Structures are given as C-alpha cells and as structure tokens.
Amino acid sequence: MKAAFFKEHGGSDKILYDEYRDPVADAGEVVVRVMACALNQVDMLLLDGRFPPPEGLPHVNGCEVAGTIESTGAGVKGLTPGQRVVIFPGFSCGACEYCLRGERTVCIRYGYLGAHKDGGYAELVKAPAVNVVPLPEALSFESGAAVPLAMLTSWHAVVTQAGVRPGQTVLVQAAGSGVGSAAIQIARLCGARVITTVGSDDKIEFARALGAEHVVNYRTQDFVEETKKWTNKRGVDVVVEHIGGETFERSTYALTRLGTLISIGSHDTHWGRLDLRHVYSKNLRIVGTNLGSIGELRALLDYVLDGRLRPVIDRAFPLKDARAAVQHVLDRKNKGKVLLLP
Ligand SMILES: [Zn+2]
C-alpha cells in the first residue's frame, strides 16, 4: 500500500510518501481502508521526536480514522467487508487494575492508534475489532474522522471530568484547534457561557460562530485580564487547557474560587509552573484527562448526527500531500481539523 511515513525525526520535510508494508489482520483484528484521517497535535510531537513512537521508526502517524472494513482476522464477528466505520483510537489491555475499574484510558498498557501502532496516514490501517464503531450512513467519512480523538477528548473533559453545568463560565484555550473548536460547542451544549482565545484576528468570527461569547487575541491582549473583565472580576469556573507553559500557569489565574483547570494536552511544551498559593487558597482543582470511552464516542456520533455538534473541518489534502498538510498545521493556519483523503 501507499503511506505517508517518516524514517527520522524532524519537520514536515521528513515525511515520505511511498510504498509501505501492508497491515495484516491477526486474530481479533480488522484492516480498515482509510477514507479520511484527521491530523492531530500528537502527530507533530511524534514527528519531531518529543514523543518518539514506542515501536520505533519508520512510523505512520494518524490517530483519527474513518473508513470501510477491508478484511477481518480470525474470530471477528459482526463486522463485514465494506462496512463504514470509525476507529476508537485508544488501546487497553482489559485486565490491569485500571481496566478492571472501568478506567481504560489509564490502562498500564495503554496505547494510541498512530502512536503506539502505525496509524491512518495510509491507504490501510489495522486495529482491534473491539475498537471499531459503526459510522452512520448520514455522516460523511470526513465528519467521522474529525470526532474520535479531539472531539472525544473535549467531550470527556467538559462533560465527564469538569461536569460543566448551565450558568457556568468556561475559558477554552485556542479556538482554532481541534480540541478548542469542539470544547466551545460542547460547553455551550452544557449550557455554559464561553470565552476563548485565538492567535490571529481572522479567527475571531470563526470562534464566535462556534458559540464563544467573547474572543481574545492572545498575541495582542492578556487573556487573564480579559477573562476577569468579562466575568466582572470573578474568574471562570472551568478552563480547558492544552497548550502548556505560561498558558497553563496563567490559566489558573483566570479561575474563580473552586474552579477547575482541565489539562488535556501540552502542545507547546510539556512543562508548566503553578503558583501553589492560588491552588490551595482558592481550592482549585487541577484535573488531567485523556480521550474518553467508546460509549462516549457513540454518544458523540449521535449528537453529530442530530446536528447538535458540528465537527469543524478546515480543509482536506490528498494523502500524497501529507507533507503540506502537516506544514499547514505546524504553521497554525488551520481553523478546525485538517484531513487526509485517499
Ligand atoms: Zn489495562
């Protein structure tokens, strides 16, 4: 098959488009023909070596895949070739202490499609059959590929971990990102009011259209000051944070007492300081979260089908132009998800 892969770490120029080993479905696995694969920030970390692929190089990125069943391994029931599917990107063992507690995203043998295994920047990809979720006919492959990582992570963060309720206020960092564009919509669906940040003025209208009431350009404005102004000095109940560094630190200053900072990524840097006086004196909660459950993914697809949530797609590139697609994300030009299509 053809795939876009890399043999050494670096920038988008390290991505090659060429022949690659065909995936073969072992017992309990399926091979999926990729009809759409979404790019993610984690792809950039894998590519530049900040999160080296555990199985080594060469490696195929791509954790958000929609496609059709190509073949099934021994013992796979209920899935037939040609069936439209989305792949749930998290792998777990089902047997460790955390899996037994129902907390599969913190499985001690946890892995991601496109990180711990080859992913969807390819014509074919394989996954455990238990990770496969049917994609409704009424949803496009493009929409399907925009849901299973970024949108699911935001859903789990806002709904399950932060428990956002009507009347609350939420600060979402980086409206232009996949998680940001999803978190704004989901917080609104929960009945909250939303303030968000963007890195350029041309993204302000985009963020408003998603439901943000107030949009801050973090390059020209101080988001803590703006959040305080917007909430009449009170601060917000919840911050959805995925940047790291100073943004992580300053996000705690934007919280009100008893507020919750949800950490769902570290796209700029893995490190962040905290002024602990704020944490204990205001009784803040700092909550880490990753991905969500297959049950939540199914619920999300229902909301998308109903039109109550909208996967935000910036643009699609052909698979052979994966290098340009990655550079587009690295340049932060995207408003929402960037896709690769066969
Ligand atoms: Zn486990």
pLDDT > 90? residue 120: yes
Of the pLDDT bands very low, low, confident and very high (cuts 50, 70, 90), residue 332 is confident
Of the pLDDT bands very low, low, confident and very high (cuts 50, 70, 90), residue 334 is confident
| Contact call for residues 74 and 179 (beta carbons, < 8 A) | no
What mean pLDDT, rounded, does the chain reach?
A: 96
Give the pLDDT confidence of 167-189 residue by residue, as tens digits: 999 999 999 988 999 999 999 99
Query: N- to C-terminal Cα distance for the chain?
Result: 11
| Contact call for residues 175 and 242 (beta carbons, < 8 A) | no
Angle between helices 41-48 and 322-330 (to 10 degrees): 100
Q: What is residue 310's DSSP assignment?
A: -
- Say how many Å lie between the CA of residue 287 and the centre of ligand 1: 21
- Say how many Å lie between the CA of residue 105 and the centre of ligand 1: 8
- Say how many Å lie between the CA of residue 18 and the centre of ligand 1: 35
Give the pLDDT confidence of 291-313 residue by residue, as tens digits: 999 999 999 999 999 999 999 99
Tracing tokens 């988001």 back to the chain, one arrives at 223
Pairs from 48-54 (Cβ < 8 Å, separation ≥ 24): 48/9, 48/10, 48/11, 49/9, 49/10, 50/270, 51/115, 52/9, 53/115, 53/116, 54/111, 54/115, 54/116
How many angstroms separate the CA atoms of 232 and 314, rounded? Answer: 34
Residue 166, judged by CB atoms within 10 A of its CB (0-12, 13-18, 19+), counts as exposed
pLDDT > 90? residue 18: yes
Collect residues with CB below 5 Å from ion ligand 1: 92-93, 96, 99, 107
The reported pLDDT for the residue numbered 22 is: 97
pLDDT > 90? residue 336: no
How many angstroms separate the CA atoms of 305 and 299, rounded? Answer: 10
How many angstroms separate the CA atoms of 87 and 37, rounded? Answer: 10
- Say how many Å lie between the CA of residue 95 and the centre of ligand 1: 5
Closest CA to 214 of 202, 233, 198: 198
- Say how many Å lie between the CA of residue 126 and the centre of ligand 1: 20
Of the pLDDT bands very low, low, confident and very high (cuts 50, 70, 90), residue 335 is confident
Give the pLDDT confidence of 253-287 residue by residue, as tens digits: 999 999 999 999 988 899 999 999 999 999 999 99
Amino acid code (one letter) for 14: K
- Say how many Å lie between the CA of residue 90 and the centre of ligand 1: 11
pTM score of the predicted model: 0.92
Between 69 and 41, where is the model more confident? 69
How many angstroms separate the CA atoms of 163 and 161, rounded? Answer: 6
Q: Residue 91: which H helix or E strand, with range?
A: strand 90-91
- Say how many Å lie between the CA of residue 292 and the centre of ligand 1: 14
As beta bridge partners, residue 171 has: 195, 239
pLDDT > 90? residue 227: yes
Q: Residue 225: which H helix or E strand, with range?
A: helix 223-230
3-state secondary structure of 252: helix
Of the pLDDT bands very low, low, confident and very high (cuts 50, 70, 90), residue 146 is very high
For the chain, percent of residues with pLDDT exceeding 90 = 95
As beta bridge partners, residue 32 has: 69, 125
Amino acid code (one letter) for 207: A
The reported pLDDT for the residue numbered 152 is: 96
Give the pLDDT confidence of 184-208 residue by residue, as tens digits: 999 999 999 999 999 999 999 999 9
Of the pLDDT bands very low, low, confident and very high (cuts 50, 70, 90), residue 58 is very high
Structure tokens at 159: 């709904």
Angle between helices 245-253 and 223-230 (to 10 degrees): 20
Residue 328: half-sphere exposure toward Cβ, Cα within 13 Å: 21
The reported pLDDT for the residue numbered 147 is: 95
